[in-house]
């Protein structure tokens, strides 16, 4: 292993995690191809190549200690190293070609099927939601599992017009990444938080902190003889629950929730550049654990694009080609009003990496 030459710092040097065989070819990769679902061949400038096997993981990429030990044992026998992907899947890097068939069988038998590469459905990404987050309006991992189960065959078909990425976020903060996915599911609370005046004044809440935590500037203050109150602008509030986290004693939230479905986002750096998704189904029931209303609408979006999309055409490009009005009509988004050919029906809550109003 090469000695580190980066400036000293707190974080571990990533190069210490890479085998020498792989580190020696760092920066020399020029091409990759999909050999079969989940199997990628990376080619270096000198003509040498390595195999990578990508497998699907449980929602949010959650892994138990026993599964991590199993993966480590497989790496020792079949590959050079392993890594988590940005979409919460897992890749075994540098798989030995002579052991590929045996390894693929091991993975399938253990319930970690190779797939999610090329023109197929990729790992469904989601936030942690109720597992350890206090902001979640819906349970994103269970929605992600329902979607992955329903469209299971799409992980291995490689016959879609282009890669399909679906992400699920439990609240408007969108840690699950729905705003930059081809199809994004976003959990939303039904009502705006309410201020309980007596409890708010009695709790001696840090007003400055409360105002600073609101990402859209929806909180205003009002001085009264009994103290300073917070007022919530219903038009600006996106129901992210940040205010409830700062002032749980004085601001309460009704727990009824639903999801919105957005389409056309992607984070790639191609000719079009990254684009934010736009909401096409603004209010869909999220009834655990079958989530039938969500699956029906996602299926309609995929079927339309699968049937009429051109080879290599991502969902955003497809919608742009046929027009938003026609697309909404084809997927049955008849609840959306004020359609227009030149703009999405609804903008997302975000225009970039920050909230905007």
Which of 144, 140, 138 is CA-nearest to residue 128? 140
Question: Which pLDDT value is given to residue 337?
Answer: 43
Question: Which pLDDT value is given to residue 342?
Answer: 33
**Lateral strand order in the sheet of 90-95:** 29-36, 39-44, 49-55, 90-95, 81-84
Question: Which pLDDT value is given to residue 17?
Answer: 87
The span from the CA of 155 to the CA of 340, in Å, is 34
Report angle CA 327, 330, 336 to the nearest 5 degrees. Answer: 70
Question: What does the pLDDT average to over 152-171?
Answer: 96
Question: Which pLDDT value is given to residue 346?
Answer: 43
- Return the domain boundaries, the chain: 14-110, 121-190+257-331, 194-252
Q: Following DSSP, what letter does each residue of 201-229 receive, concatenated?
A: HHTT--HHHHHHH-TT--EEEEEETTEEE
Question: Which pLDDT value is given to residue 184?
Answer: 94
Q: Which residue has the tokens 């899947």?
A: 89
**205 token code pair:** 């809440």
Question: Which pLDDT value is given to residue 6?
Answer: 66
CATH for the stretch 121-190+257-331: 3.30.413.10
Question: What does the pLDDT average to over 71-83?
Answer: 97
The span from the CA of 170 to the CA of 127, in Å, is 7
The span from the CA of 24 to the CA of 202, in Å, is 64
Share of the chain above pLDDT 70, in %: 90
Q: Which of 45-54, 174-183, 209-218, 347-356 has the highest mean pLDDT?
A: 45-54
Which of 28, 74, 26 is CA-nearest to residue 53? 74
Question: Which pLDDT value is given to residue 167?
Answer: 96
Question: What does the pLDDT average to over 212-237?
Answer: 92
Name the pLDDT band for 194 (thresholds 50, 70, 90). very high
Question: Which pLDDT value is given to residue 197?
Answer: 94
Q: Tell me which of 28-32, 112-116, 169-173 is least confident.
A: 169-173
Q: Tell me which of 237-246, 288-297, 320-329, 342-351 is least confident.
A: 342-351
C-alpha 52 chain-centroid distance: 22
Which of 118, 42, 46 is CA-nearest to residue 83? 42
Strand, helix or coil for residue 310: coil
Identical fold for domains 121-190+257-331 and 194-252, yes or no, is: no
Question: What does the pLDDT average to over 247-252?
Answer: 94
Q: Does residue 341 surpass a pLDDT of 70? A: no
Q: Which fold has domain 194-252?
A: Alpha-Beta Plaits (3.30.70)
Q: Does residue 267 surpass a pLDDT of 90? A: no
Question: What does the pLDDT average to over 153-161?
Answer: 96
Question: Which pLDDT value is given to residue 66?
Answer: 97
Mean pLDDT of all residues in the chain? 89
Q: Does residue 77 surpass a pLDDT of 50? A: yes
- Choose the CATH number for 14-110 among 3.30.70.3340, 1.20.20.10, 3.40.50.300, 3.90.1150.10: 3.30.70.3340
Instruction: Extract long-range pairs of 21-28: CB within 8 Å, 24+ residues apart.
Output: 21/80, 21/94, 22/50, 22/80, 22/81, 22/93, 22/94, 25/50
Strand, helix or coil for residue 289: coil
pLDDT in tens, 79-117: 999 999 999 999 999 999 999 999 999 999 999 999 999
The span from the CA of 222 to the CA of 92, in Å, is 57
Q: Does residue 252 surpass a pLDDT of 60? A: yes
Helix (H) or strand (E) holding 259: strand 257-263
Name the pLDDT band for 1 (thresholds 50, 70, 90). very low
Question: Which pLDDT value is given to residue 55?
Answer: 98
Q: Does residue 215 surpass a pLDDT of 90? A: no
Q: Does residue 357 surpass a pLDDT of 60? A: no
């Amino acid at each position: 292993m090469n000695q580190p030459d980066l400036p000293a710092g707190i974080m571990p040097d990533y190069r210490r995690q890479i085998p020498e065989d792989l580190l020696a070819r760092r920066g020399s990769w020029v091409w990759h191809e999909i050999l079969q679902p989940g199997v990628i061949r990376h080619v270096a400038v000198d003509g040498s190549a390595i195999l990578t096997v990508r497998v699907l993981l449980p929602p949010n990429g959650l892994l138990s200690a026993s599964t991590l030990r199993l993966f480590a044992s497989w790496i020792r026998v079949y590959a050079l190293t392993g890594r988590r992907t940005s979409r919460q899947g897992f890749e075994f890097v540098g798989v030995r070609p002579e052991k590929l068939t045996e390894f693929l069988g091991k993975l399938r038998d253990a319930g970690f099927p190779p797939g999610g590469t090329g023109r197929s459905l990729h790992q469904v990404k989601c936030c942690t939601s109720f597992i350890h987050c206090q902001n979640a309006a819906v349970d994103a991992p269970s929605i992600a599992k329902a979607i992955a189960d329903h469209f299971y065959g799409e992980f291995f078909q490689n016959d879609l017009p282009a890669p399909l990425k679906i992400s699920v976020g439990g609240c408007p903060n969108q840690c699950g990444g729905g705003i930059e996915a081809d199809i994004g599911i976003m959990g939303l609370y039904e009502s705006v938080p309410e201020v309980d005046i007596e409890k708010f004044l009695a709790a001696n809440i840090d007003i400055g902190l409360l105002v600073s935590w609101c990402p859209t500037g929806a909180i205003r203050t009002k001085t009264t003889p009994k103290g300073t109150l917070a007022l919530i602008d219903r038009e600006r509030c996106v129901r992210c629950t940040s205010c409830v986290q700062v002032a749980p004693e004085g601001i309460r939230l009704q727990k009824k929730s639903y999801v919105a479905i957005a389409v056309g986002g992607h984070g790639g750096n191609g000719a079009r550049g990254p684009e934010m998704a736009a909401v096409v189904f603004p209010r869909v029931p999220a009834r655990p654990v079958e989530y039938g209303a969500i699956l029906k609408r996602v299926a309609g979006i995929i079927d339309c694009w699968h049937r009429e999309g051109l080879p290599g055409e991502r969902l955003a490009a497809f919608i742009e080609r046929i027009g938003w009005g026609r697309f909404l009509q084809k997927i049955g988004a008849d609840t959306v009003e004020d359609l227009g050919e030149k703009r999405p029906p609804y903008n997302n809550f975000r225009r970039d990496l920050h909230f905007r109003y």
